[in-house]
Amino acid sequence: MSKIVDFRQRIVDTIKVMYPNMDVDWYDGLFDEQDIADWTVKTPSARVAVMSTNGDHEVTGELNARLRCVVVVIDENRFVALDGDARAWDYVESIALKANLYNFGDPNAAPATMVKFRRISQPVLRREGVSIGVVEWESDLTIGTNRVREREFFYRPDGSMITQVPSSTHTRGHVHTAAGLQRDEQTDFDASED
């Protein structure tokens, strides 16, 4: 699976945990009045889009993709006129606070920065009792193969990285002294003593 698609799903899953009763899904980054009409069938709802803006090369050989992440929140009036506005602001504010300096549990993502949030005002939607809020931020995501990890670490035949070293080592050597004498030495090293 694409790392970008996986990252987008992590954002969707995070919002679902925050708001279990909210209809959360992804979208392609563009929406119009028909999309909003479809999304208001099940409110409150949120739609998540991840759009790449540009990328830089890393010393590891990976590409650092700066992703522009967008969450659109839609709610509508329920009990009194304009009460959807307060809820939309609450959703937008909570999602912005969650996104701020958070990597959504992805070890290849940097904490989110440049968080912006706002309400979209549109007279036709307001008259229909629909409230829309948008949260945007930037997340850096490294994609590709980390060449440093390939060169600097040891791997098992199954491809998994060796991360543990022996706790004790027994060595035996043949030593030549400066005077030309020879002798055998034996050394025991226990890493647990450090």
For the stretch 149-171, pLDDT in tens is 666 677 788 878 777 776 666 66
CA distances from 63 to 3, 8, 59, 102, 144 (A): 12, 18, 9, 20, 6
Tokens of 104: 């959504």
Q: Give, for 83, the enclosing helix (H) or strand (E).
A: helix 83-99
Q: Give this prediction's pTM.
A: 0.72
Report the largest interatomic distance among the alpha carbons of the chain, rounded to a whole angstrom.
Answer: 99
Which residue shows structure tokens 């959807």?
A: 84
For the stretch 50-82, pLDDT in tens is 987 777 777 677 778 899 999 999 887 766 666
Rounded CA gap, 111 and 113, in Å?
Answer: 6
- Annotation: CATH topology of 3-147: STM4215-like (3.30.2000)
How do the domains of the chain map onto residue ranges? Answer: 3-147
